[in-house]
Amino acid sequence: MSATGTGEPFTGAVVALEATHARHQLLRFRDGSIDPIPTGPATWDVGSFLTDPGGTRLVEELVRRLRRLARETGEDIDRVALTLPGTLAGHTTVMRSTRLGILEPSNVAEQFAGHGAPPCRLYHDAECLAVGEARWGCLRGEGDDPPRAKNFAYVLVDEGVGSSLFVNGEVLRGAGSAGHLGRLVVEPRGSYNRTFASRGPLEVFASRPWVSHNIVGEYLSEHGKNAADPADDSPGTPTASAFRAAVAAAAQRDWTALRIDQIAAGLTDRDPIAVTVLDDAARYVGLSINAIIAVANPPDIVLGGDLISGLPGFFEMTASYARRFAWSLAWERTTLRRAALGRRAQILGAAELLRGHFRHEPAGS
């Protein structure tokens, strides 16, 4: 990939952290271009390092792996970009990231410096995904060096629900916590949720773990009313679909364990449990999109994440609800788009942000 810019050349590492794994990409930043540097396996499991509320073990493992990456490639890494879910303070500190097990403020940049590691900057995953799609994906303009879209919103429906709103080419941060769309209350009469300390936030209806949880709940509720044994749908039972078998297994082990492909199988089968839960999810995401349209009316809204890309018909269901809820004049001025690059946009967007932050600084400063 190529990008315009000025400044001293440097080598950067982008690490995308997710709930179960991390991905890295080593990049060479030169005037006018960002070029990938070939490395070995770029994905690794992070589960065993999400064990302390300050994220210390995770940071130590990140530093260790980056040092090994530098040895294996013979590259001196000058800068590091971490892109991750959660609430950030500036580009240095994670205030909280439930999905990464970080439950208290953690100055990651300071920890990197304490280990003698390269300077590190933090970027929110939704912001990076938005920049990646604007620069290289569904909002890309014409020509080899397209201008970045200036005014748009990105909505991530995945392990969590988040968003980024760009105004005049800059992400809108408000007082510091703008974009946490999963916190938007869409069902104020719903039961109190201790995780979010509120009633009926969007994330408990539309994120992958909660969709899984809700499917299992519907499944057990159905069987209770029919006086049937949930074990009848266990793997190996002749009448059990693959979807029902997966749900039965999750009911006995972990209500949040259903993968996107297993949930998708329920939609493909038109299983009433899957259809009911996903219809609720689409309706509430549509309601939140209407809120964005009513408040900001961006010319483009991009929907991305595993629920959008991995569940057949979910994008269309969500768009249908958003269309019904929206004021017609505002709706006609907004285009709803499906993200084109998936999680690749996260790496590309983080690289673009890292280049932008350091284009005017010497590599060793």
Average pLDDT over the chain, rounded to an integer = 89
Q: Enumerate the CATH 3.30.420.40 domain ranges in the chain, comma separated.
A: 10-132+345-355, 144-339
pLDDT of residue 145: 54
Alpha helices in 19-143 (DSSP H): 56-73, 108-114, 125-136
Confidence of residue 1 (pLDDT cuts 50, 70, 90): very low
pLDDT of residue 303: 98
SS3 content of the chain, % helix, strand, coil (to 5): 40, 20, 35
pLDDT of residue 365: 42
Which of 217, 180, 183, 221 shows the shortest CA–CA distance to 202? 183
- 82 vs 223 pLDDT, higher one: 82
The DSSP secondary structure of 185-199, one letter per residue, reads BS-TTSPEETTTTEE
* Predicted confidence (pLDDT) at residue 280 exceeds the cutoff of 80: yes
> Do residues 284 and 202 touch, judged by C-beta distance below 8 A?
yes
- 99 vs 115 pLDDT, higher one: 115
> What topology does CATH give the domain 144-339?
Nucleotidyltransferase; domain 5 (3.30.420)
Question: What are the backbone angles phi and psi of residue 265, rounded to the nearest 5°?
Answer: -60, -35
Which of 67, 168, 178 shows the shortest CA–CA distance to 126? 178
Which of 95, 149, 101, 147 shows the shortest CA–CA distance to 124? 95
Give pLDDT tens digits for 282-319: 999 999 999 999 999 999 999 999 999 999 999 999 99
pLDDT of residue 53: 92
Task: Please count the CA atoms within 13 angstroms of the CA of 114 that sit on its side-chain side.
Answer: 8
Determine if residue 165 is left, alpha or beta; phi over 0 gives left, psi from -120 to 50 gives alpha, anything else beta.
beta
If you average pLDDT over residues 123-149, what whole number do you get? 81
Give pLDDT tens digits for 86-100: 999 999 999 999 889
Dist CA 349 CA 277 (whole Å) = 32
- 239 vs 282 pLDDT, higher one: 282
Q: Which helix (H) or strand (E) holds 282?
A: helix 272-295
Tokens describing residue 131 = 């920049």
Tokens describing residue 184 = 């938007």
The listed CATH number (2.60.40.10, 3.40.630.10, 3.40.50.300, 3.30.420.40) that belongs to domain 10-132+345-355: 3.30.420.40
Task: Please count the CA atoms within 13 angstroms of the CA of 249 that sit on its side-chain side.
Answer: 14
- Tell me which residue has tokens 């299983």: 271
Give pLDDT tens digits for 175-193: 888 889 999 999 999 888 8
Q: Residues 6 or more apart from 170 whose CB is under 8 A from it?
A: none
> Which one-letter DSSP state was computed for residue 30?
E
pTM value is: 0.89
pLDDT of residue 363: 44
